[in-house]
């Protein structure tokens, strides 16, 4: 088509200005699609914070609150769950496994989790991926501790280093008489496990055997003396439950929620995660709006570029008119120029995006726990790109209409 050839040659003649405009549109497309990819990756990573666990059980409160303190280590439980109740739940029909969780202490701003060695086998994230050790092993001594990746990166611990646990979350009281030893270091997961110090339930009991009313009693016991005592836990904070059959989940959930001995709450992690995302995911709408505004700004810049070039192209328009090109052809040519610039910007933007994702995927996963799979553009992204190109073509209507009214005499006359 003649107007397409004219548009392409006109753009080639102004390659520097056109290239800068294409780059501006490409960067805006990278921002929009990048935000969309990161948003989807963050949402998927958030939903995969815990997988393979069918129910989370704790004292009766709210599902989001239970999820926050048991999985994300944020906030505190309204009450503890007695060990007897946990054992009853573990023996309920349909329960395949149960992992106790005990929270309440901290270490230099990081939460301390008391659990069993089975936790390292049962905790799954990102659709079934398990915990891995970069060095050391799971604890097999009362005063062994396993550290998450962020704890090690921040505090610089290595194997066999001593760790002093603090009593409570924000406390100046420490269990310095019963230090733990770093027995293992976990690989980066992008989950709250990275920010957790994990010890045994017996270790939690041992550091509190001589504490009364939040303080150390007179004649406190040494670590070696504590080892000789019965360190069976009396209460836990929450529990992770796996069922033998997915068909039994709701039956078991109802049985736990109706447990007569004490008020308990059992929640499905996936449902609670969706509820939590509905609260914290509001920012994604704002990010999407900002990226759309950037795309719109780039298109406006393209229109400004075409408008700015019209005065310099008056003679070009007049020559085209003089050789028989009608106003309609000139309008179509300018619209085609705008569409070509928008399409080229979108294509370059997609290329930059995927090159950047290929280079940064591992870093994003390791640093922020955001896993972005190497998938193609989704339907929503394709529609947005098509809309951007169409908007670019429509944006060319204004300068095309302006060119329509540039007369032949005005273009050929010499201005003094």
Beta strands in 148-262 (DSSP E): 162-163, 180-186, 196-200, 211-212, 215-216, 235-236, 238-243
25 close to 342: Cβ distance less than 8 angstroms:
yes
Q: Which residue has the higher pLDDT, 388 or 250?
A: 250
Hey, CA dihedral for 277, 279, 280, 281, is it positive or negative?
positive
Please state the domain extents for the chain. Answer: 2-46+282-412, 55-267
List, in sequence order, every residue forming a beta bridge with 97; answer none if it has no partner.
242
Identify the pLDDT of residue 168.
Answer: 79
In the predicted model, what is the mean pLDDT of residues 283-291?
Answer: 73
**Closest to 28 measured CA to CA, from 298, 362, 331, 373:** 298
Q: How many CA atoms lie within 13 A of 146 on its CB side?
A: 28
Query: Please, what's the largest Cα pairwise distance for the chain?
Result: 107
Tell me which of 18-32, 233-247, 280-294, 358-372 is least confident. 280-294
Confidence of residue 88 (pLDDT cuts 50, 70, 90): very high
Average pLDDT, the chain: 83
Highest-confidence range of 14-18, 144-148, 163-167, 385-389, by mean pLDDT? Answer: 144-148
pTM over 0.85: no
Structure tokens at 29: 């497309």
Identify the pLDDT of residue 405.
Answer: 67
In the predicted model, what is the mean pLDDT of residues 56-63?
Answer: 93
Q: Check whether 16 has a pLDDT greater than 70.
A: yes
Q: Which residue has the higher pLDDT, 263 or 172?
A: 263
Tell me which of 116-120, 126-130, 296-300 is least confident. 296-300
Structure tokens at 66: 């239970």
Q: Check whether 122 has a pLDDT greater than 90.
A: yes
Confidence of residue 414 (pLDDT cuts 50, 70, 90): very low
For 9, 129, 329, the CA distances from 313, given in Å and listed in that order, are 13, 61, 15
In the predicted model, what is the mean pLDDT of residues 380-395?
Answer: 82
Q: Which residue has the higher pLDDT, 299 or 148?
A: 148
């Amino acid at each position: 088509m003649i107007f397409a050839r004219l548009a392409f040659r006109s753009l080639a003649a102004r390659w520097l200005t056109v290239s800068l405009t294409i780059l501006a549109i490409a960067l805006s497309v990278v921002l929009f699609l990048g935000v969309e990819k990161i948003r989807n990756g963050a949402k998927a990573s958030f939903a995969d914070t815990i997988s393979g666990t069918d129910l989370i059980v704790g004292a009766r409160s709210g599902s989001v609150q239970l999820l926050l303190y048991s999985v994300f280590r944020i906030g505190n439980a309204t009450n503890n769950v007695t060990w007897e109740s946990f054992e009853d739940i573990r023996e309920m029909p349909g329960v395949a496994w149960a992992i106790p969780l005990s929270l309440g202490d901290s270490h230099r701003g990081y939460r301390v989790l008391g659990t069993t060695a089975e936790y390292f086998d049962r905790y799954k994230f990102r659709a079934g991926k398990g915990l891995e050790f970069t060095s050391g092993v799971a604890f097999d001594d009362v005063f062994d501790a396993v550290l998450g990746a962020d704890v090690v990166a921040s505090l610089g611990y290595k194997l066999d280093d001593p760790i002093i646990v603090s009593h409570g979350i924000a406390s100046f009281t420490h269990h310095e008489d019963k230090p733990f030893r770093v027995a293992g270091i976990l690989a980066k997961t992008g989950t709250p496990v990275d920010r957790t110090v994990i010890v045994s339930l017996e270790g939690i009991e041992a550091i509190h055997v001589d504490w009364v009313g939040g303080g150390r009693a007179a004649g406190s016991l040494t670590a070696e003396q504590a080892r000789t005592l019965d360190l069976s836990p009396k209460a836990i904070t929450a529990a992770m439950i796996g069922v033998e059959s997915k068909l039994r989940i709701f039956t078991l959930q109802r049985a736990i929620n109706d447990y007569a001995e004490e008020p308990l709450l059992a929640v499905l992690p996936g449902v609670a995660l969706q509820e939590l995302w509905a609260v914290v995911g509001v920012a994604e709408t704002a990010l999407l709006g900002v990226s759309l505004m950037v795309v719109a700004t780039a298109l406006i810049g393209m229109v400004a570029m075409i408008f700015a070039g019209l005065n310099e192209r008056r003679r070009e328009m007049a020559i085209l008119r003089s050789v028989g090109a009608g106003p309609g052809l000139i309008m179509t040519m300018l619209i085609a120029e705008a569409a070509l610039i928008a399409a080229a910007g979108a294509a370059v933007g997609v290329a930059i995006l995927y090159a950047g994702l290929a280079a940064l995927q591992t870093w994003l996963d390791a640093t922020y726990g955001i896993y972005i799979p190497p998938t193609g553009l989704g339907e929503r992204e394709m529609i947005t790109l098509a809309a951007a190109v169409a908007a670019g073509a429509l944006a060319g209507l204004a300068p095309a209409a302006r060119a329509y009214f540039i007369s032949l005499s005005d273009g050929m006359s010499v201005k003094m």
